Structure 1
Amino acid sequence: MRIAYLHGGSIPSFFANGVHVMRMCDAFTDAGHDVTLYSLPGTYTDQDPYTYYGVRHRFPIRLVPAPDYTQDGYRRRGQDIRDLLTGDAVPDLLYSRDPHTLAVTADLAPFVYEVHQLRRDLPAGFERALLSHPRLARIVVVTRALAHDLQAAYPELGTLPIHVAPDCADPPAAATATAPLPGRPDAPTIGYVGHLYDGRGIDLIIDLAGRLPAFDFHLVGGTTEDQARWQESCPHPNLYFHGHQPPSELHRYFPLFDVVLAPHQPKVYTWGRIDEIGRWTSPMKLFEYMAHGRAIVASDLPVLREVLQDRVNCLLRPSDAPQAWADALTELIADPLLRASLGEEARRQFLQHYTWRRRADLVLADLAPRGTGGLGTPATRKAPTPAEGLHTADTAAVND
C-alpha cells in the first residue's frame, strides 16, 4: 500500500514526536508498504535523519517548509503538500498527525488521523470537520483515557472509529556497545531517559539523589536550557546530567542502569509549557525501558496503569511521595531476583504487545486496498457497537 505520512513537526529534531513519526514510517516500510514522509525541515541538527534516528529503512522524506507558523502559514504549507501529492501518484492512504495539512488533502484519499492530545489550538469546528469527513478511515490514539475524552468531546458525531495503540519501542540489538558513565564503579546506577520538562518528575529525582547518597543517578536527555535550569538547583554530587543524545545512541545507556525511573506527575507539560498532556501521555521511554528488560519504578497514575502493574512488570509509587520511591529503589537494589523478575516480565510484555512493527500492523488492520477501488469507506468498516463505546486496536495491548 502506498502511504503518505503527513507530519506537522520537523525532521530531524530533539522532540519526541519526530522519534514517533520516524519509527512508524520505518515500521510501515518494514511491513512492506511504500511510505513517503512529508515533514517540516529540521533545525536542530544537519545530521542525516536516518542515522540520527537509527531507522532501518531509507523511506523517502520530503521536507516542506511553512511560510510562517500561523494558521494561514500552515494552510499554505498544506496546499504545497497537496500539490506534491497530486503531482505524483496519489497514495492509497494518508496517515497524519497534522490536522492542518490533513484538512487540505483529506479529499485525495482515505486517511488515518492519529491524535496524542485534545487539540486546543485549532479554530472552532476545525477538528470536528476532520472527524466527520467521509474519507476518515480510522482515528488512532495512544491511551484509553484519550479515547474516552476524544469521544466525549464530540458526542454529536456518534461512535467514532477510535483505535487505542500505545507508543512502542524497537527490540534492542543482540549485542549493544555501552556508553561510559561517570560515577563510582561500585555504586548502584539509577537511570532516567527523556526530556526534562516540567511534570516529568525531575525534582523528584533530585530529591532521591539527596536521600540515597550511596546511589548514582543519571539523567539522559533534555535541552541545554532545561539541563542548565535543573543543574542550578541540584547540589548532589551523585547526580549526573548527560544531555540530549541522538535517538540512535540511547540503546547504549539502558543496559548500564540497575533501575530506571518514570516519575511522571499528574500534570505533564510539553516544550515551553505550551500544552499539558498528563492525563493522556504514553511515554516512549517507558517502552524502551521494557524492551531492555530494566526494573522500573513508575508513578502510580491511571494513564500509566494502562500498561503497568505493580509487582508484575514494575513497582508503582505515588508521584508525590519521595520516601516511598527511595524505599522502592532500596528494595530493588537489595533484591536482584526481584529486579530480574520485573525486568523479564516487562520485556516479555513488550515483545508481545509493544513493538513498533506490531503497532504498524494494528493501526492498518483491515485497511488494505481492495482491487482498484482503494480503501473501504467508513460505511464499510466494522465499527464498534454503542455498547462497546470504543474499538481498541488490540485489547491485549492495553490490559494490565
Structure 2
Amino acid sequence: MQTTSVKLLYVANTRIPTEKAHGWAIMKMCESFALAGHAVELVLPKRKNPHFESVDAFHYYDIKKNFEIVFVPCPDLITITGRLPRLLGLLLGIIQNWLYARAVYGHLQKQHGAIIFSREHRLLYFLRTLPNKLVYEVHDFPERHKSWYQKLFERVDIVVVTNQWKKNEITKRFGTAEEKIFVAPNAIDVEAYAHPLSKQEARQKLSISQNKKIVLYMGGFQRWKGVYVLGEALQYLSNDIEVIFVGGGAEPDRGLFIEWLGQQGNDNFFVHDHVEHQYVPLWLWAADVLALPGTAEDKNAFYYTSPLKLFEYIASGRPVVMTDVPAVREVFERFGLDIPAAYVVPPDNAHVLAVALNNSIEQKGVSWPVLASHKLFLHTWQARARGIADFIEKC
C-alpha cells in the first residue's frame, strides 16, 4: 500500500553521526519513510561530536539523500555531563532535553498536519500539547514513573514497539489499547549484503591473516550487552582462536571494558575502533563465527531489545552463536527461524559460550543453516517503515 504524502517529522535529541547504533537506525528509518511516500524531515539539536567534525551523515551511513536534516539551536550541555557527578549530570541532561524541546516546539508549531515521530519519551511529553499526530517508538521500557508514562501513553496517537513483549506489558500496565500499538522489530539491510564476499576476500581487503580462526563481536561494550561474558569466555577458547571486538560505542563504557579486558590475563583478542556502517558487512564476512553474548542480569538485554546485530549477523550468512533470552527467542518465533540448538547458549555462562564457539569453528556437530532465502530477508527497513506508515494512516 502506498501512503499519502504526509509530512513526517522525525525528532531526535541526539548527535548524528554518532558512534552508537541508534544513529544509523534513525537515518535508515528516515530514508525508508521517504521511500514509503512521506516527505521526511529529521529534526536534530545543533550539537557537536568531536569524533565526527565535518562528516556528512548521509555519506557516513551510506543513506540516500531523500530527506532533509534540520538543526535547531540548542545549548550543548550533554557533552559535559560525563565529567560531572551523576546527579548533576542527570540534572543537566533534563535541562538540555527541555531546551531542545522548547526549540523544537517553536519549529513544529509551523508544521500543521505533520506527523511527529520520536523514540524519546521526555521529548514527546514536552510536545504533548501540540495538535499534531504523535507517534512514540518505544525502545527502552518504562519500569518507573508509571503515572508520568500513563499520561504520555494516553496522549500519543500511536505506539510502535520492537517486540511483542513490550506490547503485552504496555497494554497490561498502562491500559493502552492494543489497537494503537504496532509491533515492528528491527530489520535487515538487504542491499548491504546483496553481494557477499568469501571469508578470504574479506580478510584480504581488511589485511587480516588468512590462517587465523576468528570469532567476531560487533557492537557496544556496555555490560548489559553481554560483552563481559564473551570476555570471560576468552580463557576457555582453543589456543588458535582470536576474538575481535569491533566498535564499543561511547565512553566511558568503551574504555572501561577495554581496561577490564586487559586485566584478565588473556592475549587472544584484538579491539578495533568503530567502523562506518558501509564496512560492517566486510568485517562480518571476515569472521569464522559471530558472537551474540547475553546476560539475564539486565532487563534491557533480556526482554526489551530487538538486537540490531542479530539481524546484521544473520544477513551476513556467517554462523552465529547466540544467547537464549526472550528478546532473541522472539525473533526466532516471529520469523520461523529454526536455529540448531548447538548455536544457542544460556545467558551468563562463559564456559558454555566458549564450547559453542569452539565447536562452531571446528565444525563439530550440526552445520549452520543456509538462511539467504528465508522470509526474514523480506523484513527490510523499507518494509518496516511501510508497515508503520500504513498503520499511522489507518489510525
TM-score tier, shorter chain, comes to: 0.7 to 0.9
User: Does the 8 Å CA contact 2:140/2:304 hold for their aligned counterparts?
Assistant: yes
Residues in 1 aligned to 2:390 and 2:342: alpha-carbon distance in whole angstroms: 30
User: Which ranges in structure 2 are unaligned for 5 or more consecutive residues?
Assistant: 1-5, 78-91
Matched residue of 2:317: which SS? coil
CA drift at 1:340: 4.5
Supply the distance in 2 between the matched residues of 1:118 and 1:173 (Cα, whole angstroms).
31
C-alpha contact 1:3 1:91 (8 A) present in aligned 2: no
**What is the CA deviation profile of residues 308-352 of structure 1, one whole-angstrom value per residue up to 9, with x for unaligned ones?**
3563598211123333223322332233995452xx227624312
1:291 alignment partner in structure 2:
315
Native 8 Å contact 1:191 1:218 kept in 2: yes
Q: Which residue among 169, 172, 183 is the counterpart of 1:152?
A: 172
Contact residue 113 and residue 138 of structure 1 kept, 8 A: yes
**C-alpha distance in structure 1 between counterparts of 2:282 and 2:161, whole Å:** 30
% same residue: 24
Secondary structure of the residue aligned to 1:8 is: coil
Q: Secondary structure at the match of 1:186?
A: coil
**Distance (Å, rounded) in 2 between the aligned partners of 1:330 and 1:72:** 49
Alignment of 1:162-201 (within 5 A): 162-171=181-190, 172-175=192-195, 178=202, 180=205, 184-201=209-226
What root-mean-square deviation, in Å, do the aligned CA atoms of Structure 1 and Structure 2 show?
Answer: 2.8
Aligned length: 356
Cα displacement (A) at 1:149: 2.2
Q: Aligned pair 1:204/2:211, yes or no?
A: no
Equivalent in the alignment of 2:44: 39
Give the corresponding residue for 1:63. Answer: 71
Helix, strand or coil for the counterpart of 2:34?
Answer: helix
Residue 389 of structure 1: aligned partner:
none
Shift of 1:92: 3.0
Contact 2:319 2:368 survives alignment (8 Å)? yes
Tell me the residue number matched to 1:143.
163
- Residues 8, 39 of structure 2: 8 Å contact kept: yes
Query: How does 1:1-400 map onto structure 2 within 5 Å?
Result: 1-40=6-45, 41-43=47-49, 44-46=51-53, 47-67=55-75, 68=77, 69-87=92-110, 89-106=111-128, 107-119=130-142, 125-133=147-155, 136-155=156-175, 157=176, 159=178, 161-171=180-190, 172-175=192-195, 178=202, 180=205, 184-211=209-236, 212-222=238-248, 223=250, 224-268=254-298, 276=300, 278-308=302-332, 311-312=339-340, 315-335=343-363, 338-341=366-369, 344-345=370-371, 348-353=374-379, 355-368=380-393, 381=395
CA distance in 2, matches of 1:15, 1:230: 21
TM-score normalized by the length of structure 2? 0.80
In structure 2, C-alpha distance between the alignment counterparts of 1:204 and 1:109, rounded to whole Å: 45
Which of the two has greater helix per residue?
2
Distance, in Å, in 2 between the alignment partners of 1:182 and 1:200 is: 28
Q: Distance in 2 between matches of 1:130 and 1:202?
A: 34
Name the SS for the 1:282 alignment partner. coil
- The answer (yes or no) to whether the contact 1:207–1:322 under 8 Å persists in 2 is yes
- Unaligned runs of 5+ residues in structure 1 are 270-275, 369-375, 382-400
Q: Secondary structure at the match of 2:137?
A: strand
Contact 1:258 1:294 in 2 (8 A): yes
1:350 and 1:65 mapped to 2: Cα distance?
41
Q: Is the 8 A contact 1:23 1:55 kept in 2?
A: yes
Q: Which amino acid counterpart does residue 101 of structure 1 have in structure 2?
A: L
Using a 3 Å threshold, how does the CA distance of structure 1 residues 120 and 11 change in structure 2: closer, same or farther?
farther
